[in-house]
Amino acid sequence: MSDDADFERPVRGSRWSDSQSRAALQAIAEGVSEIAGFDLVGIAAVRDDGYLHQLVVVGPEEARAALLDSLAPTQPLLDQLEVAEDWGALKFVPHDRMVLDIDRWGWRSDAPSEGLESDVWHPDNLLVAPLEDDDGSFIGFLGMELPRDGKVPSAEKRTLLAAYARQATQAIRVTLERERLVEQVRLANAAAEIVRMAAGSDSADEVLVTCGNEVVKGFRADSLWVQFLGPDKRCDGPLYVDGGATVRLPFGIRALVTAHAQRAWERQCVAVLAPERPMPGALAADQVETVLEFLASVEVESLLFVPIGSGADCIGVMGLTRGRLGAEWSEYEAAAALDIARDLGRSMREHQLVRELREVAEYRERMVATVAHDLKNPVSAVLGYAEILAGDPDLSEKSRTAVAAIERGGERLARVVDDLLALHSATDSDPLVDAGPVDLGVLAGEIVELNEPAAAARGVTLRMDRPAQPVVAHGDAGELDHLVTNLVSNAVKYTEAGGTVSVSVTAVGDEAVLTVTDDGIGISAEDQAKVFEEFFRSADPLATAQPGTGLGLAIVLRVVHRHDGRVELESEPGEGSTFRVYLPLA
């Protein structure tokens, strides 16, 4: 027999999410009371924590007040039924075999209990129909007390009662299963909505603010607590409460969270912190007292302790709270909370990585701009003095060759500096300062004219198909000049002698379309996936033979994005390339 000497019957709120399910059980109990002739009928179900939860009570008001939503350990009742009389679907325990303390375990009527005939119902008798699921596990019971005729059912009546019990227990099983499904659907819908909201948040803090109320509503909790762990796996920061508020946890509680969070994440373990529940991690008695005193001080009776993490790392803990008379946490709620904690952890880690990447990108942009600016003046000075030296009539042929090499190297370095500055000015996050109407046809024609000498020197035909009407795009003239220049000069540079480069500008719908086509060396499919990356240089020997910084097409892509446009590339090795840039018309 289980030792229940320390048991005090607690009362909790129902965790049932579906009022229809409880209404269905109420109707079953009322039907059994009417047909079977008992004034007190109750239905109880086994919860995930092993307690029997009294879901429905039909009978005297004082019995309802004592029994409805009360809890009792399951095993002592099962032990008691081991000595019951078998009435088929029913189990009957005569008062003289009763070992349970009825005053603590149930409700006792004030009917007389002394000097009764053998066929008279004793207040301590117990008549129940146990409920089992398909695998034979005990899931609850239907109990009957206070027969209207005051008699222990006769053999004939027992047969009738057993038939009623079989019908009632089947209906009860269906109702309990329906409630489980309803709870699973509710939690699945809540989880899906929380994940959707987390994915749309811009930062880890916004994830909490955005999702906090949804978590509380989905789990029918009173509040949500989230505590982050620092890089050293300590929770020295504030506790976030749903709605965006922050509070400071007592030192002892922070220490306990630190001690158990990572272990809970590694074990994928969710724990309930509440009176009468085993504490996680084998806490010492003084630690248990610390936890319970803290919960009581903030009017929390139970807290679902859920680790939040991503990969192998625990990044914090989530606590869902319920107050006095709040429902116990079900196994479905615990599993769903852990799933959501995984999703939130993944989302927060992604936001953290995005923030870190942005910081690195911003640092790189600042560094590139600083280096380019610092190089510009010295390079200009080198080119200036080289030009002066080249004009000296007394310069020897050997020295003149050296000065020419200095000029070529300086000019190449100057182009790198100009490209770096152009790349920085075309940063995606920077707004367009000097945007306005730009005649793209006129701009492209001027750039083609400027590149004709270089094309002629390489033996390449460069031609422009000028639009019959102005094609006016909305943008920054300087940046669009960089865009067109890079595309045209690239096409000329990678086209061999005898080839052709064609440039056209047209209006299609509400877009201006710049097309640059060449019949040069072309670009492989593998390189096309990387060709717009900064500093990318193809491994193709024909491409590497041409000087370049690997920044031209990266500048093109940035300018296109800043102008809310798009760029398309069609190319085959040995057959040339076509770049099309689409920009909004002014």
* Residue 185 CB neighbour total at 10 angstroms: 12
Joined together, the tokens standing for residue 46 give 């086994």
Q: Identify the pLDDT of residue 284.
A: 74
- Are the C-beta atoms of 561 and 428 separated by less than 8 Å? yes
Tell me the two tokens of residue 383: 């080119």
Give me 434's structure tokens.
């000097």
Q: What is the number of other CB atoms lying within 10 angstroms of the CB of residue 521?
A: 24
Q: Supply the pLDDT for residue 50.
A: 72
- What is the model's pLDDT at position 199? 62
Question: Rounded distance, CA 283 to CA 278, Å?
Answer: 9
* Residue 76, pLDDT score: 86
With b for 16 or more beta-carbon neighbours within 10 A and e for fewer, the 546-562 pattern comes to eebbebbbbbbbbbbeb
pTM of the model: 0.50
Q: List the domains of the chain with CATH numbers.
A: 19-182 (3.30.450.40), 189-348 (3.30.450.40), 355-425 (1.10.287), 435-584 (3.30.565.10)
Per-residue pLDDT, 426: 63
Q: For the chain, which residues score pLDDT lower than 50? A: 1-9, 11
What is the reported pLDDT for 152?
A: 92
469-482 tens-digit pLDDT: 999 999 988 889 98
The candidate with the shortest Cα–Cα distance to 145, out of 32, 262, 236, 65, is 32
pLDDT of amino acid 4? 46
CA gap 378, 326 in Å, rounded: 74
Q: What is the pLDDT of residue 128?
A: 92
- What SS3 state is found at 126? strand
Residue 183: predicted pLDDT: 67
